[in-house]
Amino acid sequence: MIYYMTIVLKNLLVFRYHPTMDYIYLFFIAFLSATVLPLGSEALLLYDLTLDLNIFLLFIFATLGNTIGSIVNYYIGLKGEKFLAHKKILKKEKVLKTKRYFDKFGGYCLLFSWVPIIGDPITIVAGMLRYNIPKFIYLTLISKGIRYIFVIMSYYLYDS
């Protein structure tokens, strides 16, 4: 189902086809997939692999799009925490306790930011707890990159 939604969205975005647009579509879908929207960038990546596009560029565009989408989630969490604190919905003591825990073990959690359903909330929580942004970007980039390497390798292992 997600595969078909992604392909339909890609086809809706096509006004005039140009081969380099496939990379931009993949970036855009990967970006949106990293947010809370239910899109599957892996499906589009697999589809693009069948078109014999440059594997390295597909990997770069998918990884960067997905990582930048996670940075948007971080920002949403950052602003959301300020809003919730201002409305006194979050207690400062509880946030500080959770932040100490996340500062200690959050890196391990962020390595699971690629996992569907739980990955997006992890990146939002990192923003809410003001996790170190360079570490966040680094760990998220590695996590997303490994996932796409796995998808690409799976395609070629299955294809042969």
pLDDT in tens, the chain (160 residues): 566 666 666 665 555 566 778 898 899 999 998 887 778 889 899 989 988 899 999 999 999 999 999 999 999 988 887 777 666 666 777 777 777 877 787 788 889 888 888 888 889 889 988 899 999 999 999 999 999 999 999 999 987 6
How many separate domains does the chain show? 1
Structure-token pair, residue 147 = 């996932």
Helix, strand, coil shares of the chain, percent, nearest 5, are 80, 0, 20
pLDDT at 120 (0 to 100): 85
Residue 127's nearest CA partner among 109, 114, 142, 145 is 109
pLDDT at 2 (0 to 100): 60
pTM: 0.81
Q: Distance between CA 143 and CA 113 in Å, rounded? A: 7
pLDDT at 158 (0 to 100): 85
DSSP for residue 6: H
Residue 139's nearest CA partner among 71, 79, 75 is 71
Domain that holds residue 98: 2-159
Contact between 67 and 140 (Cβ < 8 Å): yes
